[in-house]
């Protein structure tokens, strides 16, 4: 009986080890974060696709709100903020709209499978000298409920997560 209990515990320990191994390996393989104590968000550019002013502002403001909410930076500056110039390890986020797929709020509400709106942006995180540190294509979607502005929120949330995962005020953490 005692030996059965012992083998059971050993088995459980082995199972736990097998289950946690990939997670630990992933953590070990995770690239080190880039040191940056502050970020400056530039206004969203839309060279090829004509974007309504309210959509452009919504993307910009949502992005700042989500970066503040997510944390990870000591300061979040807006485009043109003079205080950002004093920060040595500043990261500047440039976002350009590269795609827009038309959606339909009514169709979304009725079918819940059709009428999705999506907006695609190319995000480049640069240092003060203009060197690109990280580039990523981010898509904001609104699939089920909500107006078209919900797509800007989705984009902002994803981009803030990328920034949080890639940068840290203390290097190599």
Partner 1 sequence: MRAELQRVLFVGFLAAFSPWTLATFAQQPEVPVKVVQIMGLTGVKNKTGGKLTVDGGNLHFVHGAAKVDVATASMEDVVTGADSQRIIHGTLGSIGLMAAPYGSGRFLSLFRSKLDTLTVKYRDADGGLHGVIFMMPVGKAEVIKKELLAQGAHTTAPEEAANAGASSPAAKEQKQ
Binding site for partner 1 (CB under 8 A): 43, 50, 52-58, 60-62, 65, 77-83, 102-107, 117, 147-149
Residue (31 or 80) nearer to partner 1, CB = 80
Q: At closest approach, how far in Å is the CB of 47 from partner 1?
A: 14
Q: At closest approach, how far in Å is the CB of 99 from partner 1?
A: 13
Residue 169 phi, psi dihedral angles, 5° rounding: -65, -25
Q: At closest approach, how far in Å is the CB of 11 from partner 1?
A: 53
Q: At closest approach, how far in Å is the CB of 110 from partner 1?
A: 10
Give how far the C-alpha of residue 76 lies from the chain's centroid of Cα atoms, to the nearest Å: 15
Residue (108 or 158) nearer to partner 1, CB = 108
Q: Classify 85 in phi/psi space as left (phi over 0), alpha (psi -120 to 50) or beta.
A: alpha
Helices (H), the chain: 2-29, 53-70, 105-111, 150-166
Residue (8 or 147) nearer to partner 1, CB = 147
Are 84 and 38 in contact by the 8 Å Cβ rule? The answer is yes
């Amino acid at each position: 009986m005692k030996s059965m209990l012992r083998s059971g515990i050993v088995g459980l320990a082995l199972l736990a080890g097998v289950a946690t191994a990939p997670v630990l390996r992933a953590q070990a393989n995770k690239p080190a974060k880039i040191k940056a104590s502050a970020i400056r968000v530039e206004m969203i550019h839309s060279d090829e696709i004509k974007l309504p002013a309210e959509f452009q502002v919504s993307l910009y403001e949502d992005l700042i709100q989500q970066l503040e909410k997510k944390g990870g930076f000591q300061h979040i500056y807006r485009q043109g903020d003079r205080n950002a110039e004093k920060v040595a390890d500043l990261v500047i986020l440039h976002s350009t709209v590269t795609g827009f797929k038309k959606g339909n709020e009514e169709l979304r509400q009725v079918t819940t499978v059709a009428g999705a709106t999506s907006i695609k942006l190319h995000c480049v995180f640069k240092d003060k000298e203009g060197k690109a540190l990280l580039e990523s294509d981010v898509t904001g979607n609104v699939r089920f409920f909500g107006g078209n502005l919900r797509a800007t929120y989705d984009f902002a949330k994803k981009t803030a997560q990328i920034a949080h995962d890639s940068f840290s005020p203390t290097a190599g953490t």
